[in-house]
Amino acid sequence: MIKHLRSAADLDAATATLILDTAAEMAALSGREVKKLPALRGRTVVNLFYEDSTRTRISFEAAAKRLSADVINFSAKGSSVSKGESLKDTALTLQAMGADAVVIRHSASGAPHRLANWVDGSVVNAGDGTHEHPTQALLDAYTMRSRLGRLDGLKVAIVGDVLHSRVARSNVLLLTTLGADVTLVGPPTLIPLDVAAALSKSTKVSYDLDSVLPDSDVVMMLRVQTERMQDSYFPSAREYSRRYGLDMPRMRKLPEHAVVMHPGPMNRGMEIAPEVADSPRSTIVEQVANGVSVRMAVLYLLLGGK
């Protein structure tokens, strides 16, 4: 098993599939009387969050606790971090406390890679800057597989601000590893240069959402921050929404079986219409539930053995 999960590129197809299969077993737990397994008893998992993200933190926290690990939440606010303690010094503190795993969320791309140099335990990337968010990609893949029964050959459109999206990067890497065909859709200003060469040769790019939808099994809408307007990535929220937002007429262009995903938090009315977000095709609530199972699987596989 791998030691760290810093990038979706750390996962080959066999390991990724093992995580998804393990997550399926973990998912059964939520229907049980006792929602707890003893696998990580006595292990310490630190949630080191330099960015506010309550949903991701509680998802990791629930995952670790259901596996009986001791969880320490170390949030940047109100800690020594605000006094300017370096990541390295924080890492050495966590090391001294005997952290078996550190789940890190950080605004700087690559912070998990740096952290892994300074702690003996496993490092799990819970989102770093505009780089990656591998557990989000795993839960997305899990959700697709449970809705559509497979990943191999699945046509997935990822729509929106790919340039600044850690979710998109991890999804492209993981989904192509698992055999899906990914098309990135958005205005050219928000699709990074050389994206296919950078991530996966088979990745396609389109600037026209309408032409991509009829041939998609999954459409994943990315959050678009309105402040990108100020930086001339697109002229206005209205124009963005018209060209790249998923509304009801557009959703009807999808094949019957296709699903709509969003990593959250959503800008309703911007990249996704409220009726679409709440439609039966939307997996948005499932994604949250699946997040706990997938993170349990990751923590178990990283920490469960020798």
Partner 1 sequence: MAQPRADAPSKIILAGSDLHRVVDRIAHQILEKTSGATGTVLLGIPTRGVPLAHRLAARIHAFEGVDVPVGSLDITLYRDDLRLQATRALGRTELPAGGIDGLRVILVDDVLFSGRSVRAALDALKDLGRPSSVQLAVLVDRGHRQLPIRADYVGKNIPTALSESVKVALTEIDGADEVKLIGGLT
Partner 2 sequence: MAYLLKGVSILGAAPTDLYINDGVISAPVPDAEVIDAAGLVALPGLVDVHTHLREPGREDAETVETGSRAAALGGYTAVCAMANTSPVADTAGVVEQVWRLGREAGLVDVQPIGAVTVGLAGKQMAELGAMASSAADVRIFSDDGFCVADPKLMRRALEYVKAFDGVIAQHAEEPRLTEGAQMHEGEVSTRLGLTGWPAVAEEAIIARDVLLAEHVGSRLHVCHVSTAGSVEVLRQAKARGVRVTAEVTPHHLLLTDERAEGYDPVFKVNPPLRTRSDVEALRQALLDGVIDVVATDHAPHAVQDKECEWSYARPGMLGLETALPIVLSVFGPKWDLIADRMSIAPARIAGLDGHGGDLTKAGTPANLTLVDPSVQRVVDPAELASISRNTPYAGMTLPGRIVATFLRGEATVLDGKAVK
Q: Which residues contact 306 (CB under 8 A, 6 or more apart)?
A: none
Min separation Cβ 209 and partner 1, Å: 40
| Alpha carbons 287 and 80: distance in angstroms, whole number | 33
Measured CA distances, 164 to 182, 194, 224 (Å):
17, 15, 9
167 binds, among partner 1, partner 2, none (CB under 5 to 8 A by kind): none
Alpha helices in the chain, H assignment, sequence order: 13-27, 54-66, 87-96, 111-116, 134-148, 166-177, 195-198, 209-212, 237-244, 248-251, 274-277, 284-303
1 binds, among partner 2, partner 1, none (CB under 5 to 8 A by kind): partner 1
* Cα angle 83-122-60, degrees, rounded to a multiple of 5: 75
- Smallest CA-to-CA distance from 200 within 183, 222, 214 is with 183
Judge whether 55 counts as a catalytic residue.
yes
User: Taking contact as CB under 8 A, which single stretch among the options 147-155, 271-279, 286-294, 298-306 is the one that binds partner 1?
Assistant: 298-306
| Alpha carbons 186 and 158: distance in angstroms, whole number | 8
Residue of 4, 43, 66, 105 marked catalytic: 105
Judge whether 106 counts as a catalytic residue.
no
Tell whether residue 38 is a contact of partner 1 (CB under 8 A). Answer: yes
Q: Is 136 annotated as a binding residue?
A: yes
* Cα Dmax for the chain: 56
Judge whether 6 counts as a catalytic residue.
no
**CB of 246 within 8 A of CB of 218?**
no
88 binds, among partner 1, partner 2, none (CB under 5 to 8 A by kind): partner 2
36 binds, among partner 1, partner 2, none (CB under 5 to 8 A by kind): partner 1
Query: What letter would DSSP give residue 208?
Result: -
One residue of 249, 265, 280, 305 binding partner 1 per CB under 8 A: 305
Is the Cα dihedral 179, 185, 188, 190 positive or negative? negative
Tell whether residue 12 is a contact of partner 1 (CB under 8 A). Answer: no
Q: Is 252 annotated as a binding residue?
A: no
Q: Is 223 annotated as a binding residue?
A: yes
One residue of 34, 96, 193, 197 binding partner 1 per CB under 8 A: 34
Residues that bind partner 2 (CB under 8 A): 86-88, 106, 108-111, 113-114, 128-132, 166, 169, 192-195, 197-199
Tell whether residue 304 is a contact of partner 1 (CB under 8 A). Answer: yes
Nearer to partner 2, 28 or 193 (CB): 193
| Alpha carbons 171 and 141: distance in angstroms, whole number | 8
Site string for partner 1, 14-33 (x = CB under 8 A): ----x--xx--x--x---xx
One residue of 74, 233, 234, 300 binding partner 1 per CB under 8 A: 300
One residue of 9, 37, 72, 289 binding partner 1 per CB under 8 A: 37
Judge whether 133 counts as a catalytic residue.
yes
96: left (phi over 0), alpha (psi -120 to 50) or beta: alpha
> Footprint of partner 1 on this chain (CB under 8 A)?
1, 18, 21-22, 25, 28, 32-34, 36-39, 67, 300-302, 304-306
Cite the active site residues: 55-56, 83, 105, 133
